């Protein structure tokens, strides 16, 4: 029996679940307790709380042991078991799915200019054209600039969220990205070992204010990247063993049903292990931290010509716009931009 682990946070109590192909959700903690009870194990609920805890970050910290137990629990439910040891419901439909942000303390690192196609298009629009070959030469020589920024966890919203249009902008941009969720603590991590620190992958839509100098917004780059709802995330985390090689995944972004971004992770300039090593220099990374790998071509910024020193506003988001950020094997993350109330 094939068990695909798409981890979600669901319901009013924000419990850990596994998203099924039909849209239903298996409560992993209750399902594992039911499995243990079916085996005659004493105190099944207490033991399930340890091995398959109901909160996402605690479950991630259980690493492979927790995943193995959770897969057994889902298989148990698929055999027809529907009730936990104390009558708990095991399968839910129609429940709200929240962002799979492991913890309010999770740090969200966003890497900059990390796709060849996007970087070439932005350079062209800004009047400093380059080529993929030139960028590869700079990477090989170690002269290609590595940079990024942090998104604050409180700015994360989940699937089907409404994001208020920031009052200070006329140019709100979008970027579909894959976020690597870390499962282990580490500092000064070697690049050749860094892949082993990744627990799974999710989708993040990097919303940005693009009005100011260097497209960093009128108040600077940090504020251009941090405002309420600027980091839609979800709908799930797919574990590394289920997703496989992430570097061939297709990324797409549609606005009001029209595809704006259509690219591939093959275009990444530096892959996740490089960034994990770079970010962990002299600083611990923790389970639940997220490293987003950048975006492909097709953003409003790299499709908008510059006129009199400003990007034309036509391609940027407006209140009422509906976004669909999708990544192969992970899912679709839907967001609506609304007028600020």
pLDDT for residue 263 is more than 90: yes
pLDDT for residue 188 is more than 70: yes
Q: Angle at the Cα of 207 (from 60 to 104), degrees rounded to 5?
A: 30
Task: Report the pLDDT averaged over residues 209-223.
Answer: 72
* Per-residue pLDDT, 277: 98
Tens of pLDDT, residue by residue over 38-64, are 999 999 999 999 999 999 999 999 999
Beta bridge partners, 26, equal 18, 91
**With bands split at pLDDT 50, 70 and 90, how would you rate the model's confidence at 239?**
very high
Q: Do residues 17 and 8 make contact, with C-beta atoms less than 8 angstroms apart?
A: yes
* Per-residue pLDDT, 4: 81
Helix or strand holding residue 141 (H, E): helix 132-141
Q: Angle at the Cα of 45 (from 40 to 47), degrees rounded to 5?
A: 80
Question: Hey, what are 316's tokens?
Answer: 């940027």
Full-model pTM: 0.97
Measured between alpha carbons, how far is 108 from 112 in angstroms, rounded to an integer?
13
Residue 264: which residues within 8 A CB-CB, separation 6 or more? 248, 249, 250, 251, 296
Domains of the chain and CATH, by start: 6-98 (no CATH), 108-338 (3.90.850.10)
**With bands split at pLDDT 50, 70 and 90, how would you rate the model's confidence at 216?**
low
**With bands split at pLDDT 50, 70 and 90, how would you rate the model's confidence at 330?**
very high
Q: Angle at the Cα of 238 (from 236 to 242), degrees rounded to 5?
A: 155
**With bands split at pLDDT 50, 70 and 90, how would you rate the model's confidence at 178?**
very high
Mean pLDDT of the chain: 95
**Nearest in space to 94 (alpha carbons), one of 41, 167, 32, 17:** 17
**With bands split at pLDDT 50, 70 and 90, how would you rate the model's confidence at 150?**
very high
* Per-residue pLDDT, 310: 83
Measured between alpha carbons, how far is 279 from 275 in angstroms, rounded to an integer?
6
If one counts every other C-beta atom within 10 angstroms of the C-beta of residue 281, the result is 9
């Amino acid at each position: 029996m094939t068990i695909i682990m798409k981890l979600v946070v669901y319901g009013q109590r924000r419990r850990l679940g596994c998203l099924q192909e039909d849209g239903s959700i298996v409560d992993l903690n209750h399902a594992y307790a039911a499995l243990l009870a079916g085996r005659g194990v004493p105190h099944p609920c207490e033991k399930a709380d340890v091995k398959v805890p109901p909160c996402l970050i605690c479950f991630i910290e259980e690493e492979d042991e927790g995943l193995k137990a959770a897969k057994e629990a889902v298989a148990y439910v698929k055999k027809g078991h529907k009730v936990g040891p104390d009558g708990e419901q095991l399968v839910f439909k129609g429940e709200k799915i929240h962002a799979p942000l492991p913890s309010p303390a999770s740090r969200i690192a966003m890497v900059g200019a990390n796709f060849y196609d996007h970087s070439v298009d932005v350079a062209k629009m800004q009047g400093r054209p380059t080529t993929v070959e030139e960028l590869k030469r700079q990477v090989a020589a170690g002269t290609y600039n590595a940079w990024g920024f942090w998104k604050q966890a409180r700015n994360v919203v989940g699937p089907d969220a409404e994001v208020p249009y920031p009052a200070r902008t006329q140019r709100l941009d979008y970027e579909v990205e894959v976020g690597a969720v870390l499962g282990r603590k580490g500092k000064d991590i070697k690049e050749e070992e860094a892949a082993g620190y990744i627990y799974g992958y999710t989708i993040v839509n990097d919303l940005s204010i693009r009005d100011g100098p260097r497209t960093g917004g009128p108040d600077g780059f940090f504020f251009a990247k941090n405002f309420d709802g600027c980091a839609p995330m979800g709908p799930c985390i797919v574990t590394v063993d289920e997703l496989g090689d992430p570097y061939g995944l297709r990324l797409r972004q549609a606005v009001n049903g029209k595809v704006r971004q259509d690219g591939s992770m093959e275009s990444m300039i530096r892959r996740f292990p490089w960034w994990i090593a770079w970010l962990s220099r002299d600083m611990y990374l923790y389970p639940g931290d997220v490293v987003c790998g950048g975006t492909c071509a097709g953003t409003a910024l790299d499709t908008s010509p510059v006129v009199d020193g400003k990007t034309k506003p036509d391609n940027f988001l407006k209140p009422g716009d509906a976004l669909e950020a999708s990544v192969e094997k992970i899912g679709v993350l839907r967001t609506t931009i609304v007028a600020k109330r």
